Amino acid sequence: MLKPEKITTTTCPYCGVGCTLQLHVKDDFIYRVTSPYESPVNHGNLCVKGRFGYDFIYHPQRITVPMVRRYLLDGTSDKVLGTRKDAPDIGNQSLIPNHLSPSSWDWVETDWETALDLTANKLVEIYRRDGSDAMAVYCCAKATNEDNYLLQKMYRAIFRTNNVDHCTRLCHAGSVVALQQAVGSSAMSNSAAEVIQNDVFIVTGSNTSENHPIIALQMKEAVRKHGAKLIVIDPRRIELVDFAELWLPLKPGTNVPVFSAMAHVIVKENLVNWDFVNRRTEGVEEFIASLDKFTPEYAESISGVPADLIRRAARLYATAQNAAIYWGMGISQLSHGTASALALIHLAFLTGHIGRPGTGLNPLRGQNNVQGASDMGAMPFHFPGYMRVDGPGNAEQWEKLWNIEPGGLSRKLGLTTTEILSHAHPGGIRALYIMGENPLMSEPNLNETRRHMEQLEFIVAQDLFITESAAFADVFLPATPFAEKDGTFTNTDRRIQRVRAAHPPRGLSRRDSDIISALALRLEARLARPSAKWDYAHPSEILREMASVNPDYAGVTYERLEKVGLIYPVPDETHPGTPDLFLETFPRGRGKFTPLDYVPSAELPDDEYPFILTTGRVLEHWHTGSMTRHSKLDELYPEALIEIHPADAEIHGIADGMPVKVSSRRGSVILRATVTEKTTVGVVFIPFHFHEAAANLLTNDALDPQAKIPEFKACAVQVFPAREHDLQNPAALMERGRY
């Protein structure tokens, strides 16, 4: 066996589990990945992405040289909108295939000085002309804590805007808002490994085996070896159903009636933990009065879940000694995602299954550092540490740290991810900086997203590849992946862990934090701003700067993170970390009950569009595919497939493997059918990783009014066999991104 020159211990760049990786390196090339059994997160286990999904680093389409549009060099700025609108003909789907050569879009390779100077000049020009409200930035859940802290700092300190967000808006924003409202904290209350301490646990809105495979292993162990009872509440027959005591197959978008009916049963059958409710919560009387209508029979009429199953699930959860709830984006990605999460929180309050080890409210975070990016202030309403931008005394602390005049930071709530693009027009957002995000795959209603992108005056992409979104950029700044930089990620457990470089950056690419620092210095010089600190000898200095104001990270140092990391809050440098939250009290004092009503999904099936489409991920791929689709993992799952139930397939004349056309009121895609009982009657499922058949061309951009998260998990579609004219010259259609 090949012997490595070195083995670098780091943290996986994929889902929120945060598995420990050992990168075996020879000749500046990672050729093998293992994991130590001693890792408290994954105990040596890795999923297929963690073990084999690192080769995107060496993909020939990775960009490692700064690039700018030719018109930025020759001064013919009239080409700006024309270049975007006249980009390669990509047909009705309006997506840029990420395999097309960037040279075909008038890119010019350049040096860093030129690229950064052009970027700074254009951003300053727009800022001086149109002010703070014209500036916006997407931070990145794939980047490190340090990267995200610096980028939000740059936009807040220099451009004085809170138009700062990242993909948390598109995944768990509903959960964040609900938890902040109910308990005053938005992270998991317990660690995922505590599932082995559960007597009963609920998994809902999460295909855990494919989205968080290592946590799913722990869940299976809890059932097999420790006798835990699992309740799965999900529209699809996910793998965990095979391990479940109960499966409640609800229709997408009917979470509130089902969870509220469980609460109804707990109250009516006097299964309430009144000691906990009276000591630790408020608003229970009004809440109980609101439950009268949510009988199990009422919930069955809406959700399709038999009333008896709802009663059994409520009793099982309420009577357990230790019970916990784990949920994914099937809860939050709805136009009533906040209400869905609140309905789950109520179950924990009623039963007292929170504030102890082996219990809790545990939203499973989707990306490797979506928790950390949120902690770092990559959101429009909060500075780092979830300090409201309009909260008394909050801005003053950051003004002092960042050397900003009193009152200099904006106290105005910024625009969210979805609002930033919808405000892209003259008089609105004019310049957008995108670090690692890919809105032209991740946003709903992508045809509308493209129209918004076309209205932007200036776009900067800081990334690894020419993604569907980076294809619209004016400047491309080549960044480094996880294996070429140092920093920290914070996983779904709130565990802060080290990220370590295995080898130097490829080509001329630079670490994200180095790019941001170099650009910030140019911006300050052009605007004659008082100088904040941008020259850091090591990323550890960036983390310590942030931690000097954020009390949750106050005791975190790189030295203390060396072995297994720390679970925040870590209030001082002697504190061991806090795996379990809310032992004595909630951050807001008492937990708050909120009466709820059932609000249907924004778009329900009808005669024209009879199916409910729900979207999600598959095991072999991740998010918008910018990494896994540049990996050999793409060979394992090379094309988009739609899951349809056998009963529906028979009625509509669809056979397994047949090309079908799926249409919503917003667009159409063609892909191959998988006839399977994994889905339920009337529900179809499409993964959203594939630009050739982008699921988000179909999804609805209706927003949760509180969290501003789109309704990815429920929209109405029609499905029928693809006709001859749909399939004409399929190779050409695929090349153009229409197939």
DSSP line for 374-403: HHTT-BTTEETTTEETTSTTHHHHHHHHTT
CB 176 within 8 A of CB 425: no
More confident residue, 408 or 623: 408
Report residue 589 CA to chain centroid gap: 29
Distance CA 536, CA 558 (A): 15
pLDDT at 420 over 80: yes
- Whole-angstrom CA distances from 554 to 91, 398, 566 are 52, 15, 12
Q: Which domain holds residue 163?
A: 67-84+102-169+389-483+508-557
Tokens of 680: 């339920």
- Based on the fold, state whether residues 135 and 238 are members of the same structural domain: no
Domain with residue 690: its CATH number is 2.40.40.20
Whether the upstream peptide bond of residue 569 has omega within 30° of 0, thus cis, is yes
Let me know whether 303 and 401 are in one domain.
Answer: no
Residue 274 has pLDDT above 90, yes or no: yes
Q: Are 165 and 266 contained in the same domain? A: no
CA–CA gap between residue 266 and residue 271 (Å, rounded): 5
Give the separation between CA 534 and CA 718, rounded to whole angstroms: 53
CATH of the domain at 120: 3.40.50.740
User: Mind listing the pLDDT tens digit for each residue in 622-654?
Assistant: 889 999 999 999 999 999 999 999 999 999 999
Q: What average pLDDT does the chain have? A: 93
Tokens of 438: 């890919």
Q: Which residue has the higher pLDDT, 593 or 84?
A: 593
Cβ atoms 123, 523 nearer than 8 A: yes
Residue 601 identity: S
Residues 207 and 291 in one domain: yes
Residues 523 and 443 in one domain: yes
Find the mean pLDDT for residues 656-679: 96
pTM flag (> 0.85): yes
Let me know the angle formed at the C-alpha of 252 by 251 and 255, rounded to the nearest 5 degrees: 85
Question: Tokens in use for 298?
Answer: 């009422």
Residues 411 and 546 in one domain: yes
Same domain (yes/no): 702, 637: yes
Q: Which pLDDT value is given to residue 71?
A: 86
The answer as to whether 573 is a domain residue is no
DSSP string, 115-154: HHHHHHHHHHHHHHHH-GGGEEEE--TTS-HHHHHHHHHH
Is the same domain home to 248 and 343?
yes
Q: Tokens 């199990």 identify what position?
A: 296
Q: Which H, E and C letters describe 432-470, residue by residue?
A: EEEECCCHHHHCCCHHHHHHHHHCCCEEEEEECCCCCCH
pLDDT at position 99 over 60: no
Helix H or strand E encompassing 348: helix 337-351
Does 398 share its domain with 418? yes
Residue 57 lies in a domain: no
Q: Give the CA distances from residue 335 to residues 11, 88, 615, 706, 709, in Å, rounded to whole numbers and listed in that order.
A: 34, 34, 15, 9, 7
Spatial separation of the C-alpha atoms in residues 345 and 176, rounded to whole Å: 12
Residue 32 within any structural domain of the chain: no
What is the tens place of the pLDDT at every residue in 487-501? Answer: 999 999 999 999 999
Same-domain check for residues 305 and 203: yes
Using the predicted structure, report yes or no on whether residue 104 has a pLDDT greater than 80: no
pLDDT digits 0-9 by tens, 206-257: 999 999 999 999 999 999 999 999 999 999 999 999 999 999 999 999 999 9
For residue 377, being part of any structural domain is answered with no
Structural domain tally of the chain?
3
Kindly report the CA angle at 392 between 389 and 397, in degrees rounded to 5?
Answer: 70
| pLDDT(88) > 50 | no
What is the Cα 349 distance to its own chain's centre? 27
For the stretch 17-60, pLDDT in tens is 999 999 999 999 999 999 999 999 999 999 999 999 999 999 99
Determine, yes or no, domain membership for 33: no
* Residue 637: inside a domain: yes
What residues form DSSP beta bridges with 71?
none
* Residue 565 and residue 369 in contact, taking contact as beta carbons nearer than 8 Å: no
pLDDT tens digit sequence for 427-479: 999 999 999 999 999 999 999 999 999 999 999 999 999 999 999 999 999 99
Given a cut of 90, is residue 272 above it in pLDDT?
A: yes
What pLDDT, in 10s, does the model give residues 331-365? 999 999 999 999 999 999 999 999 999 999 999 99
Same domain for 337 and 210: yes
Band of pLDDT at residue 684, cut at 50, 70 and 90: very high
The CATH number given to whatever domain includes residue 261 is: 3.40.228.10
Phi-psi region of 407 (alpha: psi -120 to 50; beta: other; left: phi over 0): left
Query: What number of residues does the chain have?
Result: 739
Does residue 38 fall inside a structural domain? no
Q: Are residues 542 and 654 in the same domain?
A: no
Comparing CA positions, the residue from 102, 104, 93, 105 lying closest to residue 737 is 93
Residue 718: its H or E element: strand 715-721
Residue 35 lies in a domain: no
Listed residues 525, 540, 557: the one ending a domain: 557
Lowest-confidence pick of 166-175, 430-439, 565-574: 166-175
Q: Can you give the pLDDT at residue 105?
A: 58
Percent of the chain with pLDDT over 90: 89
Nearest CA to 475 out of 420, 446, 432, 427 is that of 432
